[in-house]
Structure 1
């Protein structure tokens, strides 16, 4: 499996993959594929990686800037992340996250935040300590991974593509 940056030729495959991966999820509002297109169109897609196996895109992860209490302190948000149905739970998502976090670290990012299940993301080093909030979501789902600097505290805001 090859993990690489997206190319323009990948855009439609990423859209279809994201739609297929999120369609059966009970928490999905069916906007995830469009979020990626909007991130790209707005210039907010900081990192976009695909997992390719045998010439087929089987996974994708997006990272975009976030602010905490309205301050851009070089933090990024992870998501959406998608793995092709039938290929999930094989380590593809974990590999995409690790590759993205490595790039963020190399670029000097302060850290990464996300909204998601602690059962899934704690294995990648994300923690929830109640210091970050996002709208009215239970803080246990608001997670962060510090790459450098202090532990953040405050209200997390995502870019426009997420409705922020």
Structure 2
């Protein structure tokens, strides 16, 4: 990719473009419930988007990533969930997702987070240091697609619970 990517914090005026990119990014993914744009809106409405970044090329938002707090059954604090992460279909596989994930993880480390977890493709997230911890699980999710990355060397034990916004299936009520 020869054009420069700008990674920046989400601004309130970005919401519609973020929804459009997210919807397009997941449109053809068979395992998607096609609710990811609703999840982002619900996280935003709940005020729990700890880190919300956009990727911009020539003023066009071409990607987005969200990080929000998760709860650990063992009481471990400072853990966040990554997701969803979206890149415009015409620009996928060009490093935009990698740039968003790398910057988002750096931001979490900078605020003193303990770690990050996600549900994602097994072949993708290992390069960022994520692994499938046998001592940690997400109910209803196969262990091979659940990942965690500890920033402290300590991985919680038990179950992780993502924010209720991840249950969103439609527009967030005003």
The TM tier, using the shorter chain, reads over 0.9
Name the structure 2 match of 1:3: 7
Alpha carbons of structure 1 residues 5 and 21: separation in structure 2 relative to 1, 3 Å: same
CA distance in 2, matches of 1:9, 1:101: 24
Name the structure 2 match of 1:32: 36
Among residues 93, 101, 106, which one is paired with 2:105 in the alignment?
A: 101
Relative to the length of structure 1, the TM-score reads 0.96
Q: What's the C-alpha RMSD, in Å, of the aligned pairs?
A: 1.3
CA distance in 1, matches of 2:20, 2:61: 10
Runs of 5+ consecutive residues of structure 2 not aligned to the other structure: 169-174
Deviates more, 1:147-156 or 1:109-118: 147-156
Alignment of 1:125 with 2:129, yes or no, is yes
SS in structure 2 of the partner of residue 76 of structure 1: strand
Alpha carbons of structure 1 residues 111 and 157: separation in structure 2 relative to 1, 3 Å: same
Deviates more, 1:129-138 or 1:8-17: 129-138
Relative to the length of structure 2, the TM-score reads 0.90
The structure whose residues are more often strand, as a share, is: 1
Among residues 74, 79, 82, which one is paired with 1:78 in the alignment?
A: 82
Please state how far the C-alpha of 1:71 moved relative to its aligned partner: 2.7
Alignment of 1:139 with 2:143, yes or no, is yes
Please state how far the C-alpha of 1:70 moved relative to its aligned partner: 6.2
Any runs of at least 4 consecutive aligned residues in structure 1 with deviations exceeding 2 A, and if so which? none
CA distance in 2, matches of 1:72, 1:42: 22
Name the structure 1 match of 2:171: none
Aligned residue-pair number: 164
Please state how far the C-alpha of 1:72 moved relative to its aligned partner: 5.3
Name the structure 2 match of 1:55: 59
SS in structure 1 of the partner of residue 33 of structure 2: coil
Runs of 5+ consecutive residues of structure 1 not aligned to the other structure: none
